[in-house]
Structure 1
């Protein structure tokens, strides 16, 4: 696939705008977004901005439901594991960020393990993941998971054929064991096309704020696209079990993928809003002998802005 220079620039600009939207999502209020909806002269914004506004509105609504889900999980002491898998640049990190954006990190936490060290390579394969499993009242999101063995380790030759086959024998029983112990396991695969990954990699190459996301392994994965496809198909076929099925998220459109994934996630639980006692702010106690001492000037951060 070839793009003209102008088309590539427009694509990179759209990706940059999407990055800026991550910050806007924390700024814009869904209950009163009129300032964002109109231009400075009061006229309606263009179609693209209208689409972004519609996305924000829906995202905020879903994030409000995620807060309710969080409270329900904490109150009813549920244990939840959510796995996010997919090719490099498929958008896993983006949806994880939107899920956790407004949640309590003591209830909802993210696990993104680095490559195993020499000691971990000698352990039972699932051993390094087990300490991160949830206790009662917790939801754990794995940004990549034990399925590394079925993907990158297989394709890049980081495991033997025997270890690969043992993984497929073990993982269904491992997940069934988790489910029997009371842990709900949800598995998402983010699916993008060859062309879309190519464009996202180009965007990262030309965006200084995203170049850190490109590793030599990511670049090698482009060359081995077909090997990863075969590995993915085998993984889905051999580990799609009733107790912990796979769910495929169509992720070529980043924003739609985020909304669809969060909407689907909410539908996996019979949650309801938890009644909270009314919060009454207590009056501040004032003592006549209290004296606030000034902070030494050398300790104060300079007000450059």
Structure 2
């Protein structure tokens, strides 16, 4: 990015401050929004009344959508649906953030996340899709892939981790693989999170400045930043060659993280004809008590010190 296109230092620090606050858990954001972040301009992290109003509106809509996700979960479990959702995008595009907000209120036994590491030596000798197929859902389950088999069309292609023959074989196979999944009764939804060059630059700087997120910056991430254009070309080819009627791609505009989360969740809910499942009222049973029961004291050396 040309030097002239970079924001000045004060503006950059303000954007990083806002991004750091936005990245914290939704349950904590309202409590910490008035606090300053060490090392940044205190004025930059003080929210205005407009900021607070926008944040409250965001939370209100997020919680409403999460309530609908609970209904979706119940419907998936009750009607024995099988759902696979793929989340793809550049590093720091916000995939993990939206996955977190989707699963935040759900039962991890029903809605689980598959975030596979790099293949080991044995997996490299398997059929390419084999290790992903092992994570596909049974009836009544939703699986959210934080990156997926499309690694071959992206990072493996750009970084040279696959041959030209393997790359072409992937494109020959993936449409048939996905059609087979759909024919088997799996609902397959594919999202690409789209951010700009400038936005990824800012988010990487934010990770550098945030000690709680520095672990997210791997050497591979830094190299991907250098190869922005190569990733762009790989993405364009991937979307063109794998956008099929049975499993189309959906592009989420993700420069604004909060809007991206809400838009993605809202769209996801619209992809399935879920209905609220009626549940019988829950009644708490009376505790059984026995006269001969005596609770034994816990030894003092087993107690966690109460320092808070």
1:207 match: 210
Root-mean-square deviation (CA, aligned residues, Å) is: 1.5
Deviations 1:195-239 (A, max 9, x none): 000000011111111111101111111111111001000000000
2:14 match: 10
The question of whether the paired residues in 2 share the 8 Å contact of 1:90 and 1:191 is answered with: yes
Distance 1:79 1:244 in 2: 14
2:107 match: 104
1:50 match: 53
Shift of 1:25: 6.5
Change (3 A) 1:183 1:218: same
Aligned: 1:278 with 2:281? yes
1:241 match: 244
More deviation, 184-193/1-10: 1-10
2:38 match: none
1:195 match: 198
2:142 match: 139
Change (3 A) 1:27 1:48: closer
1:40 match: none
Shift of 1:286: 1.1
1:223 match: 226
Aligned: 1:73 with 2:76? yes
Please show how residues 261-300 of structure 1 align to structure 2 within 5 Å.
261-300=264-303
Q: Secondary structure at the match of 2:128?
A: coil
The question of whether the paired residues in 2 share the 8 Å contact of 1:25 and 1:56 is answered with: no
Distance 2:60 2:27 in 1: 15
Change (3 A) 1:144 1:7: same
1:186 match: 189
Q: Secondary structure at the match of 1:72?
A: helix
Distance 1:114 1:21 in 2: 24
Runs of 4 or more above 3 Å deviation: 25-28
Shift of 1:20: 2.8
Shift of 1:14: 0.5
Aligned: 1:114 with 2:117? yes
More deviation, 200-209/59-68: 200-209
Question: TM-score by structure 2 length?
Answer: 0.92
1:24 match: 28
Gaps of 5+ in 1: 29-44
Distance 1:22 1:114 in 2: 27
Shift of 1:248: 0.2
The question of whether the paired residues in 2 share the 8 Å contact of 1:70 and 1:108 is answered with: yes
Distance 1:277 1:25 in 2: 35
Gaps of 5+ in 2: 33-47
